[in-house]
Amino acid sequence: MKKLLTALVALLLIAAVATSALAVKMYVINDQAKVRKSNNKKAEVISRLPEGGSVEVLQTEGNWSYIEYVNKKGKKRNGWIANKNLSSTAPHKHTWSDWRITRQPTCAKTGLKEHTCTTCGTTKTKEIEKAKHQWGKWTVTKKPTCAAPGEKVTTCKKCGKKGSKKIEKTGHTYGEWVVEKPATCAEKGVRSRTCKVCNNKETEEIEQLAHTPGAWTTLVPLTREADGERAYKCTVCGMEVRETVKAEPSLARKDKGELVKTVQTMLSALGYNTGKVDGIYGGKLDSAFSQFARDNDVVFAEGWIKPAQLDALVSAWVRSIPEEKWMGANDSLVLTADPDGKPGDVLSFNWILTNDGFDDCTLKAVLMGKGADHDFRGDDVVALMGDEALKAGTANSLGGTFSIPATAAEGADALSFRAVVENDKTGETWLSNAAVYKMVS
Mean pLDDT value across residues 185-209: 92
Residues 335 and 423 grouped into a single domain: yes
Read off the amino acid at residue 281.
Y
The residues with which 125 forms a beta bridge, in sequence order, are 114
- Judged against a pLDDT cut of 90, whether residue 13 lies above it is answered with no
Kind plus residue range of the DSSP H or E element containing 328: strand 326-328
The answer to whether the Cα torsion of 39, 44, 47, 49 is positive or negative is positive
CA distance linking residue 269 with residue 277, whole number of Å: 11
Of 308, 112, 146, residue with least CA distance to 227: 308
Average pLDDT, the chain: 85
**Do 286 and 345 belong to one domain?**
no
Q: Which of 18-32, 225-239, 354-368 has the least mean pLDDT? A: 18-32
- pLDDT number for residue 44: 93
410 and 381 Cβ atoms separated by less than 8 Å? no
Cis-peptide into 322, omega within 30 deg = no
More confident residue, 247 or 9: 247
Neighbours of 26 (CB within 10 A): 25
Q: What is the mean pLDDT of residues 202-221?
A: 90
The CATH code of the domain that includes 374 is 2.60.40
Q: Is residue 210 part of a domain?
A: no
- Residue 192 located in a structural domain: no
Check residue 379 and give its pLDDT. Answer: 66
Instruction: Establish if 122 belongs to a structural domain.
Output: no
Residue range 28-46, pLDDT digits in tens: 988 889 999 999 999 999 9
Question: What is the distance between the alpha carbons of residues 164 and 105, in angstroms, rounded to a whole number?
Answer: 24
Residues 50 and 83 in one domain: yes
Share of the chain above pLDDT 90, in %: 34
**Is the separation of the CB atoms in 403 and 277 below 8 Å?**
no
Q: Are residues 331 and 424 in the same domain?
A: yes
Reply yes or no on whether the pLDDT at 99 is more than 90.
yes
Residue 335: what pLDDT?
Answer: 81
DSSP 174: B
Q: In what order do the strands lie in the sheet with 150-155?
A: 139-142, 150-155, 162-167
**What is the structure's pLDDT at 126?**
92
Question: Amino acid identity of 410?
Answer: E
Evaluate if residue 2 carries a pLDDT over 60.
no
Show which of 53, 87, 121 is a domain's final residue. 87
The reply to whether 312 and 338 lie within a common domain is: no
Domain residue limits at 46? 2-87
Return the pLDDT at 394.
66
9: pLDDT strictly greater than 50:
no
More confident of the two residues 18 and 38? 38
Residue 416 DSSP label:
E
My answer on whether 330 and 415 are in the same domain is yes
pLDDT for the residue 6? 46
Q: Specify whether the CB–CB gap between 51 and 20 falls below 8 A.
A: no
- Give pLDDT tens digits for 213-258: 888 888 888 877 778 899 999 998 888 999 888 777 788 888 988 8
Quote the strand ranges of 104-149, DSSP E. Answer: 111-116, 123-128, 139-142
Q: In the chain, how many domains are there?
A: 3
**Are 348 and 428 members of one domain?**
yes
Crossing angle of helices 283-295 and 307-320, in 10° steps, is 70
pLDDT at 21: 45
Q: What is the mean pLDDT of residues 67-74?
A: 90
Evaluate if residue 381 carries a pLDDT over 50: yes
d(CA 170, CA 146): 5
The CA-CA-CA angle for residues 150, 156, 162, to 5°, reads 45
Distance CA 420, CA 259 (A): 14
Q: pTM for the full model?
A: 0.47
Structural domain contains residue 206: no
Q: Which of 95-104, 324-333, 335-344 has the lowest mean pLDDT?
A: 335-344
Contact 383, 317 (CB under 8 A): no
Output the domain CATH number for residue 16: 2.30.30.40
- Does residue 97 belong to any structural domain of this protein? no
Q: Are residues 431 and 331 in the same domain?
A: yes
Tell which of 87, 108, 125 closes a domain: 87
CATH number at residue 294: 1.10.101.10
268 in the same domain as 362: no
Distance CA 61, CA 240 (A): 99
Collapsed DSSP state (helix, strand, coil) of residue 310: helix
**385 or 333, which is more confident:** 333
426 band by pLDDT with thresholds 50, 70 and 90: confident
- pLDDT at residue 272 in the model: 95
Residues in the chain: 441
Residues 327 and 434 in one domain: yes
Angle at which helix 258-269 crosses helix 307-320, to 10 degrees, equals 40
Q: Give residue 98's pLDDT.
A: 92
Asked if pLDDT for residue 330 goes beyond 70, the answer is: yes
Residues 297 and 333 in one domain: no
Q: Check: CB of residue 241 under 8 Å from CB of residue 217.
A: no
User: Considering the chain, what percentage of its residues have pLDDT values greater than 70?
Assistant: 90
> What are the angstrom distances between the C-alpha of 288 and each of 1, 215, 232, 299?
115, 44, 42, 14
What pLDDT score was predicted for residue 284?
93
In a domain, 191, yes or no: no
Of 22-31, 33-42, 312-321, 395-404, which gets the smallest average pLDDT? 395-404
Task: Clarify whether residues 306 and 384 are in a common domain.
Answer: no
203 or 411, greater pLDDT:
203
Q: pLDDT: is 139 or 374 the higher one? A: 139
Domain-ending residue, one of 318, 340, 373: 318
